[in-house]
Amino acid sequence: MKTQENISFEKVSLVSGILICIVYIAYFLFMIYANLIRITELRAFNFLILLGGLFFTFKYFRSKSKVHIDYLKGISLGILTSAVSIVLFALFIYIYFSEIDPLLLQQLKNNAPLMGQYLTPFSAAFTIIVEGSISGLILSFAIMQYYKNDPGYAKQKLNAE
């Protein structure tokens, strides 16, 4: 899909997803370095990272394309961007826990008495995909609620009619 200024919907999603993933990885490594990785509540910050990343993705796409993002196309932009970032981050987590630092995974298992016995690199990656997909869907929907009431959109609709 191309828009007015030859900006590709898929390319924006791919680049934004990669950038969001880089922020996820940086945050994850910071949590390890600061010895905060065992505080599971701090994972909620990933939601804020995704929110910021999606918001800036929408803003960038709209500024470069100079057109309003249709509702379904906007949700698709958010979902695709989220999917790229989440799958890449889940892949990183899988490799990190299975190859780079399996001892950290063992420590996390010991700190989770109820579900710790089921924690594997695959289950950690799968959990990230599930949580991230749900977050991406909710945030894409919420951001499109903001953009559908955008005053610039109302002007474009009037001009088109």
The SS3 of residue 6 is coil
pLDDT at 41: 85
Question: What pLDDT band is residue 140 in, cutting at 50, 70 and 90?
Answer: very high
Is 50 exceeded by the pLDDT of residue 158?
Answer: no
For the record, the structure tokens of 5 come out as 């200024």
d(CA 157, CA 76): 21
pLDDT at 80: 96
Residue ranges of the domains in the chain? 9-37+44-150
pTM: 0.84
d(CA 64, CA 8): 10
The SS3 of residue 131 is helix
Is 60 exceeded by the pLDDT of residue 3?
Answer: no
| 25-51: average pLDDT | 91
Backbone angles phi, psi at 2, to 5 degrees: -110, 150
For the record, the structure tokens of 30 come out as 């910071």
**Would you give the DSSP letter of residue 66?**
-
Nearest alpha carbon to residue 139 among 5, 10, 47, 28: 47
Contact predicate 125/78, CB 8 Å = no
Is 70 exceeded by the pLDDT of residue 160?
Answer: no
pLDDT digits (tens, 9 = 90+) for 31-40: 999 999 878 7
CB atoms within 10 A of CB 81: 29
In the block, residue with structure tokens 């299975």 = 98
